[in-house]
Amino acid sequence: MDYKCTLDNADSFLNQLKLHRDRKEKVAVLSDLGGWERAEGMIREIVHKAGADYLVLDNGSALDIAKIVAVNGVFKTDCSC
């Protein structure tokens, strides 16, 4: 039987990402940017700018948290793969 851990669509990954940052754990994320894009690394910081929250990884890439569909195997409920 297949099983997929999910996060309700109304929720954000923000709290989960803060927890990974505080624990200094590596994250692997999928973002929906008109197609899925994968990124991974250590979280350098989480910033709020221009009305949105962004995840900044150790390689300097910034990701809009609202566009993230999966973090470390936890997917949003409307995400099909």
* Domain extent listing, the chain: 6-76
* C-alpha count within 13 angstroms, C-beta hemisphere, residue 46: 14
- The kind and range of the H/E element at 27 are strand 27-32
pLDDT at position 4 is: 45
In this prediction, the residues of the chain whose per-residue pLDDT falls under 70 are: 1-11, 77-81
Q: Under a CB-based contact definition with an 8 Å cutoff, are residues 65 and 55 in contact?
A: yes
pLDDT at position 44 is: 97
CATH number of 6-76, picked from 3.40.462, 2.30.30, 2.60.40, 1.10.1760 = 2.30.30
pLDDT at position 40 is: 97
pLDDT at position 9 is: 47
Q: What predicted TM-score, i.e. pTM, was given to this entire model? A: 0.81
pLDDT at position 62 is: 95
